Structure 1
Amino acid sequence: MTRTGVPGSVEGGEAMGNVVQPSWVPTAEQVEGSRIVAYARWLVGEGVASFADVTDFHEIQAWSAAHPQDFWSSVARYFDVAFHEEPTAVWESRKMPGTKWFPGARLNFAEHLLRTDSDRDAIVMIVEDGTTTTITHRELRRQVKALAGSLREMGVEQGDRVVAYLPNSIEGVVGFLATAWIGATWSQAGLDLAARSAADRLSQLDPKVLICGGGYFFKGLVHDRRNEARQLRSLLPSVEHTIAVSTAGLSLAGTADEVVEWESALTGADPVDVVPVEFDHPLWVLFTSGTTGKPKGIIHGHGGALLEQLASPGFHLDLGPEDVFFWYTSPNWMMWNAQVCGLLHGATIVLYDGNPVDPTADRLWRIAAQHGVTVFGTSPGYLKVSEQAGCVPGRDLDLSRMRIVAVTGSILPPAANRWVRENISPDVQVGSTSGGTDIVGIFVSSNPVLPVYDGEISGVALGVSLQVWNDSGQPLPAGAAGEMVITEPMPSMPIGFWNDPDDETYLETYFADFPGVWRHGDAITVTDRGTIVIHGRTDATLNRNGVRLGSAEIYDAVESLPDVADTLVVGVERPDGGYWMPMFVVVSDSSVDGEEIGRRIRDRLREQTSPRHVPDEVIVVPALPHTRTGKKLEVPIKKLLAGQQTGDVISAGAVDDTSALEWFVEFARQRAASVGEDDVEPTDDYRNWRVYSEQRMSRILSAALETFSENGYHGTTTRQLAERSGLSVPGIYHHYKSKQDILFDLMMVVVDELIERSRHALAEVEDDPRAQFDVLVEALLLFHMNRQKGAVLSANELRKLDPEYRVRYTARREEQQRMLDVVVSDGVASGVFHTPYPVDASRAIASLCLGVASWYHADGELPEDEFLKRYRAIAQSIVGGV
Structure 2
Amino acid sequence: MTTPMWTPDAQRIANANITHFREQAARDWAVDLPDYDALHAWSVDRPEQFWSSLWDGCGVVASARGDTVIENGKAMPGARFFPGAQLNFAENLLRRRDGGPAIIAHAEDKTKRTLSWAELYDAVSRMAAALKAMGLEPGDRCAGIVPNGPEAVVAMLAVTSLGGVWSSCSPDFGVQGVLDRFGQIEPRVLFACNGYWYAGKTFELGAKVKEIAAQMPSLERVVFFDHLQHGKTPEGIDKALSWEAMVADHPAGEIDFVQLPFDHPLYIMFSSGTTGVPKCIVHCAGGALLQHLKEHRLHCDIRKDDRVFWFTTCGWMMWNWLVTALASEATLLLFDGSPFHPKPTAVLDFADETGMTWFGTSAKYIDAIKKEGLRPVDTHSLASVRAIGSTGSVLVPESFDYVYEAVKPDVHLASVSGGTDLLACFVGCDPTAPVYRGEIQGKALGMAVEVWDDEGHAVLGEKGELVCVKPFPSMPIGFWNDKDGQKYHDAYFARFPGVWAHGDFAEIRPDTGGIIIYGRSDATLNPGGVRIGTAEIYRQVEQIPEVIEALAIGQDWDGDVRVVLFVRLAEGVPLDADLQKRIRTRIREGASPRHMPARIVAVADIPRTKSGKITELAVRDIVHGREVKNKEALANPEALDLYRNIPELQR
Which interval holds the TM-score relative to the shorter structure?
over 0.9
1:564-575 equivalent positions in 2, closer than 5 A = 564-574=547-557
d(CA) in 2 for partners of 1:468, 1:635: 23
d(CA) in 1 for partners of 2:62, 2:573: 64
Say whether 1:638 aligns with 2:620: yes
d(CA) in 1 for partners of 2:486, 2:372: 47
d(CA) in 2 for partners of 1:199, 1:49: 54
Say whether 1:268 aligns with 2:237: no
Correspondence for 2:83: 103
Say whether 1:434 aligns with 2:417: yes
Rg larger for: 1
Q: Given that residues 594 and 620 in structure 1 are in contact (C-alpha distance below 8 angstroms), is that contact kept between their aligned partners in structure 2?
A: no
Say whether 1:663 aligns with 2:642: yes
Say whether 1:33 aligns with 2:15: yes
Correspondence for 1:404: 387
Tell me by how many angstroms 1:102 deviates. 1.1
Q: 1:560 aligns with which of 543, 550, 554?
A: 543
Say whether 1:464 aligns with 2:418: no
1:155-175 deviation digits (Å, cap 9, x = unpaired):
211111111111111101000
1:351-370 equivalent positions in 2, closer than 5 A = 351-370=334-353
Say whether 1:64 aligns with 2:43: yes
d(CA) in 2 for partners of 1:127, 1:667: 42
* Residue identity in the other structure for 1:265: M
Tell me by how many angstroms 1:49 deviates. 4.7
* Residue identity in the other structure for 2:24: W
1:222-275 deviation digits (Å, cap 9, x = unpaired):
111110011111121110111111112365355457322112323323654110
Tell me by how many angstroms 1:658 deviates. 2.2
More strand by share: 2
1:199-222 deviation digits (Å, cap 9, x = unpaired):
110011111111111110011111
CA gap of 1:49–1:512, structure 2 versus 1, over 3 A, is farther
Say whether 1:230 aligns with 2:210: yes
Could you list the runs of 5+ residues in structure 1 that have no partner in the other structure? 1-18, 679-882
Tell me by how many angstroms 1:291 deviates. 2.1
Say whether 1:307 aligns with 2:303: no
Tell me by how many angstroms 1:578 deviates. 1.7
Instruction: Give the TM-score, by structure 1 length.
Output: 0.72
1:827-853 deviation digits (Å, cap 9, x = unpaired):
xxxxxxxxxxxxxxxxxxxxxxxxxxx
Q: What secondary structure sits across from 1:32 in the alignment? A: helix
Correspondence for 1:611: 593
d(CA) in 2 for partners of 1:30, 1:659: 49
* Residue identity in the other structure for 1:70: Q
Correspondence for 1:215: 195
Q: What secondary structure sits across from 1:217 in the alignment? A: strand
Correspondence for 1:191: 171
1:448-463 equivalent positions in 2, closer than 5 A = 448-463=431-446
d(CA) in 2 for partners of 1:290, 1:474: 28
Q: Given that residues 215 and 249 in structure 1 are in contact (C-alpha distance below 8 angstroms), is that contact kept between their aligned partners in structure 2?
A: no
d(CA) in 2 for partners of 1:256, 1:624: 36
d(CA) in 1 for partners of 2:30, 2:365: 41
Say whether 1:321 aligns with 2:299: no
d(CA) in 2 for partners of 1:289, 1:597: 34
Say whether 1:394 aligns with 2:372: no
d(CA) in 1 for partners of 2:234, 2:203: 17
* Residue identity in the other structure for 1:327: W
* Residue identity in the other structure for 1:323: D
Q: Given that residues 567 and 583 in structure 1 are in contact (C-alpha distance below 8 angstroms), is that contact kept between their aligned partners in structure 2?
A: yes
* Residue identity in the other structure for 1:667: N
Correspondence for 1:127: 107
Correspondence for 1:178: 158
d(CA) in 1 for partners of 2:238, 2:393: 45
Q: Given that residues 411 and 552 in structure 1 are in contact (C-alpha distance below 8 angstroms), is that contact kept between their aligned partners in structure 2?
A: yes
* Residue identity in the other structure for 1:106: Q
Could you list the runs of 5+ residues in structure 2 that have no partner in the other structure? none
1:370-385 equivalent positions in 2, closer than 5 A = 370-385=353-368
d(CA) in 1 for partners of 2:24, 2:380: 39
Tell me by how many angstroms 1:474 deviates. 1.5
d(CA) in 2 for partners of 1:332, 1:392: 30
Q: Given that residues 252 and 259 in structure 1 are in contact (C-alpha distance below 8 angstroms), is that contact kept between their aligned partners in structure 2?
A: no
Q: Given that residues 554 and 609 in structure 1 are in contact (C-alpha distance below 8 angstroms), is that contact kept between their aligned partners in structure 2?
A: yes
Correspondence for 1:5: none
Identical residues among aligned pairs (%): 37
Correspondence for 2:240: 259
* Residue identity in the other structure for 1:379: S
d(CA) in 2 for partners of 1:604, 1:206: 51
d(CA) in 2 for partners of 1:591, 1:302: 51
Tell me by how many angstroms 1:298 deviates. 0.4
d(CA) in 2 for partners of 1:238, 1:307: 32
Q: What secondary structure sits across from 2:63 in the alignment? A: coil
Correspondence for 1:879: none
Q: What secondary structure sits across from 1:20 in the alignment? A: coil
Tell me by how many angstroms 1:52 deviates. 5.0
Instruction: Give the TM-score, by structure 2 length.
Output: 0.97
* Residue identity in the other structure for 2:63: H
More helix by share: 1
d(CA) in 2 for partners of 1:653, 1:266: 34
d(CA) in 1 for partners of 2:641, 2:217: 31
Q: Given that residues 361 and 385 in structure 1 are in contact (C-alpha distance below 8 angstroms), is that contact kept between their aligned partners in structure 2?
A: no
1:608-664 deviation digits (Å, cap 9, x = unpaired):
1111111001100111111111111112222332332222xxx22211222212222
Correspondence for 1:595: 577
1:754-774 deviation digits (Å, cap 9, x = unpaired):
xxxxxxxxxxxxxxxxxxxxx
* Residue identity in the other structure for 1:580: R
Correspondence for 1:50: 31
* Residue identity in the other structure for 2:138: Q
Q: What secondary structure sits across from 1:581 in the alignment? A: strand
Q: CA RMSD in A?
A: 1.5
Structure number with the bigger relative contact order (C-alpha 8 A, sep ≥ 6) is 2
Correspondence for 2:400: 417
Q: What secondary structure sits across from 2:70 in the alignment? A: coil
d(CA) in 2 for partners of 1:131, 1:175: 20
d(CA) in 2 for partners of 1:539, 1:431: 25
* Residue identity in the other structure for 1:236: M
d(CA) in 2 for partners of 1:587, 1:52: 51
d(CA) in 1 for partners of 2:207, 2:576: 42
Q: 2:513 aligns with which of 526, 530, 536?
A: 530
Tell me by how many angstroms 1:189 deviates. 1.5
Q: Given that residues 194 and 234 in structure 2 are in contact (C-alpha distance below 8 angstroms), is that contact kept between their aligned partners in structure 1?
A: no
CA gap of 1:323–1:667, structure 2 versus 1, over 3 A, is farther
d(CA) in 1 for partners of 2:581, 2:637: 29
Correspondence for 2:477: 495
Correspondence for 1:159: 139
1:772-826 deviation digits (Å, cap 9, x = unpaired):
xxxxxxxxxxxxxxxxxxxxxxxxxxxxxxxxxxxxxxxxxxxxxxxxxxxxxxx
* Residue identity in the other structure for 1:440: L
d(CA) in 1 for partners of 2:612, 2:221: 33
Q: What secondary structure sits across from 2:622 in the alignment? A: helix
